[in-house]
Amino acid sequence: REIGCIIRSLGCFPNEAEVQELLAQIEVEEQEGFVHLKSFLPVMTKVLLDKRFRPIPEDVILHAFEALDENKCGYITKEDLVKHLTEK
């Protein structure tokens, strides 16, 4: 259940469906929910070498926040962020 956190700590940012795809490749069948290091390393080595699941570039994230800053004040309030994430 922590495999997504482990993968993200390595600088890869897959969505949940992609985490499940990776998990299907490395999970031990007879012990569902467990991953052995010997299964994990080759899969993650390939992911890292292929540079899959890179983070969204900072300028794209900044542009998204600027679009949410309706008042153009240079910041988004917690309330506005919650509203945008839950209602839109």
**What integer pLDDT is reported at residue 14 of this predicted model?**
92
**What integer pLDDT is reported at residue 28 of this predicted model?**
66
Tokens 């153009």 belong to which residue? 72
Residue 80 burial by CB count (10 A; 0-12/13-18/19+): exposed, middle or buried?
middle
pTM for this predicted structure: 0.59
**What integer pLDDT is reported at residue 54 of this predicted model?**
84
Q: Which helix (H) or strand (E) holds 6?
A: helix 3-9
**What integer pLDDT is reported at residue 30 of this predicted model?**
65
Percent of the chain with pLDDT over 70: 91
**What integer pLDDT is reported at residue 29 of this predicted model?**
66
Helix, strand, coil % (nearest 5) of the chain? 60, 0, 35
> For residue 70, is pLDDT > 90?
no
What would the pLDDT profile of 28-65 be if each residue is shown by its tens digit?
666 677 788 888 999 999 999 999 988 888 998 899 88
